[in-house]
Amino acid sequence: MVLEPVRSLTKAVYVNRPASIQCLLGILMTLLVAAIGVAVHLNLATASLLYLLLVVSVAVHCGFFQASVVSLASILCQTYFFTSPTFSFRIADPRNAIAIVIFELTALLVSRLSARERAYSEELQRQRIKIQRLYAVSCGALTFDPAKGPEKEMAHLIRTEFQLESVAIYNAYSTTLGVAGSWQDFEEELLETLALGTLPENRLFQGSRSTVFRTPGELFGTLVVAGTIGPVALQSLASLTALILERQQAFLEKGAAEASRQTEQLRTTVLDGLAHAFKTPLTVIRAASSGLLESGKLDPAQSELMDMIDEQSIWLNDLTTRLLATARVGEEKLCLEFETIDISTLLNSIVAECQRLRSSNLTQTAPASTIHVHVPDHVSPIAADHDLLRTTLLELLENALKYTDKGKSISLSAAQCSEETRISVHSWSKVIDLQERDLIFDRFYRSLDHHDLAPGTGIGLSVAQRVAEAHKGQIWVTSSLEEGTTFNISLPRTSR
């Protein structure tokens, strides 16, 4: 009955007070227990238990230092008030001295354990609160609209949940800044300095803490906070912010990829529809012109006109066939029809076809450049899709003719190495800059230095790359003023 009031009174007196005040109150409590003990004539054993309870209570509610001070005061009270002779600091019975020493050791040990347990409980409580706040931030972040930049919303959410003064999130990938709190009027200053990796030299930002975050996708930025927050919590928030920004970036990239896929699918459908729509009238025109020519009832002038109609219809028919091939290459799944192809025969037929097409096209003159074909005897036939490979090489040859100065020769050659065959189209056209040698294979891309030299759409080389990749091969270009420009296609000799 006596112990419970002492413990309750200790808790009420000690909680939320400075350490010096706690020590003073503890000493007063030891004197109070001594006064009560003397009044009710307690013996040393009972008084020791009361003092032990008092020391443990102080250790639980205050700390080890305060408990140690109270334990020393308790020893003095026990020696003076409850040890024979009473009201004296002299101890007559050695057993009482041993009991007091044991009391002190027990009090210190229990106080140490109690203080450690108290510190551990406080740390668990702080961790629990931190986890709850991080969980609240992560749940709130999932409600963000992924189509919009989450920096500002994330800054407001962190400031609210962690009760901070101000928060700023800088996304270096998109160079955007989100600010919450008193820093909102300094967004431009923050943006300029965070882009340089520093903080503004402003009194408003003194005492703030910052950390850099980076994602596996190389998206990075800076989180800056003003307020009370631990380094572990700050790093956890930075990691969470990085995940949210990467999620938004992945959403945007996925949307762009889907839009590109739908555009490509529409383009392929339109090309295929146009090509098929052209086939029927072209067939009728060719049949009519051939019939009139075979009738033999035309005068020379009429026959010449009909020859021109027949040649141009053949040329348009070939263009339509190539348009269909282009649409076929644009399909997501490209089904190849492999057959054995003799390289020398293929290259010579391509040269003849190119010369015939250019001579029959009234808008162009016959090629002024000489075309050479060189295929060594040891080059073996390859397994490939004849129509696609022929269309690709014809595109490369026509590009060489368009961009090569008059009087300079063009060469088609083949070489065999290991299990692959390399086909090259060499010309003396203008040098392609190093930074553009990968870009020219992107769809619709045309070199800034060359796009005014000849008409084009920027599709041909992207189709050539698609064909090479479909054959498990590759295409690349080398270009220099001394050696000219060479487009190379490397293909396996056998289908894989």
The Cα 15–Cα 57 span in angstroms is: 11
Q: What per-residue confidence (pLDDT) applies to 309?
A: 81
Q: What per-residue confidence (pLDDT) applies to 161?
A: 87
Residue 412 pairs in a beta bridge with: 373, 425
pTM of the model: 0.45
Which one is predicted more confidently, 286 or 367? 286
288: its two tokens: 């009519």
Average the pLDDT over each of 4-8, 158-162, 215-219, 423-427 and give the range with the smallest value. 4-8
Q: Kindly report the CA angle at 343 between 340 and 345, in degrees rounded to 5?
A: 95
Per-residue pLDDT tens over the stretch 91-115: 777 887 787 787 778 777 777 777 7
Q: CA–CA distance from 115 to each of 64, 122, 193, 333 (Å)?
A: 5, 10, 46, 70
Q: What per-residue confidence (pLDDT) applies to 253?
A: 74
Tell me if 129 sits within 8 A of 161, measured CB to CB: no
Exposed/middle/buried for residue 179 (C-beta within 10 Å: 0-12, 13-18, 19+): buried
Instruction: Classify 445 in phi/psi space as left (phi over 0), alpha (psi -120 to 50) or beta.
Output: beta
Per-residue pLDDT tens over the stretch 407-418: 788 899 999 887
Q: What per-residue confidence (pLDDT) applies to 424?
A: 92
pLDDT of 469 over the 80 cut? yes
What confidence tier does 458 reach under pLDDT thresholds 50, 70, 90? low
Average the pLDDT over each of 29-43, 71-85, 110-124, 273-287 and give the range with the smallest value. 273-287
Q: What are the chain's domains?
A: 3-132 (no CATH), 144-257 (3.30.450.40), 258-328 (1.10.287), 335-492 (3.30.565.10)
Per-residue pLDDT tens over the stretch 48-94: 888 888 888 887 777 778 878 888 888 888 888 888 888 888 877 78
DSSP collapsed to 3 states, the chain? CCHHHHHHHHHHHHCCCCHHHHHHHHHHHHHHHHHHHHHHCCCHHHHHHHHHHHHHHHHHHCCHHHHHHHHHHHHHHHHHHHCCCCCCCCCCCHHHHHHHHHHHHHHHHHHHHHHHHHHHHHHHHHHHHHHHHHHHHHHHHCCCCCCCCCHHHHHHHHHHHHCCCEEEEEECCCCEEEEEEHHHHHHHHHHHHHHCCCCCCCHHHCCCEEEEEECCCCCEEEEEEECCCCHHHHHHHHHHHHHHHHHHHHHHHHHHHHHHHHHHHHHHHHHHHHHHHHHHHHHHHHHHHHHHHHHCCCCHHHHHHHHHHHHHHHHHHHHHHHHHHHHHHCCCCCCCCEEEECHHHHHHHHHHHHHHHHHHCCCCCCCCCCEEEECCCCCCCEEEEHHHHHHHHHHHHHHHHHHECCCCCEEEEEEEECCEEEEEEEECECCCCHHHCCHHHCCCCCCCCCCCCCCCCCCHHHHHHHHHHHCCCEEEEEEECCCEEEEEEEEECCCC
pLDDT of 366 over the 50 cut? no
Tell me if 169 sits within 8 A of 153, measured CB to CB: no
Q: What per-residue confidence (pLDDT) applies to 365?
A: 44
Q: What per-residue confidence (pLDDT) applies to 453?
A: 54
The Cα 139–Cα 223 span in angstroms is: 19
Which residues have CB under 8 Å from 111's CB, separation 6+?
55, 56, 58, 59, 64, 67, 68, 71
Q: Using N-to-C axis directions, what is the helix angle for 231-295 and 151-162, rounded to 10°?
A: 160
> 398-414 burial by CB neighbour count: b if 16+ within 10 A, else e?
bbbbbbbeeeeebbbbb
Torsion angle in degrees (nearest 10) through CA of 457, 321, 282, 366: 60
Tell me if 54 sits within 8 A of 5, measured CB to CB: no
Q: What is the mean pLDDT of residues 140-162?
A: 81
pLDDT of 378 over the 60 cut? yes
Q: Which of 79-88, 254-263, 316-325 has the highest mean pLDDT?
A: 79-88
Closest CA to 137 of 156, 158, 112: 158
Alpha carbon 293 to its chain's center: 66
Q: Which of 101-105, 178-182, 186-190, 324-328 has the highest mean pLDDT?
A: 178-182
Q: What is the mean pLDDT of residues 354-371?
A: 61
Which one is predicted more confidently, 366 or 176? 176
What confidence tier does 430 reach under pLDDT thresholds 50, 70, 90? confident
Q: What per-residue confidence (pLDDT) applies to 3?
A: 44
Q: What is the mean pLDDT of residues 205-210?
A: 79
What confidence tier does 282 reach under pLDDT thresholds 50, 70, 90? confident
What confidence tier does 2 reach under pLDDT thresholds 50, 70, 90? very low
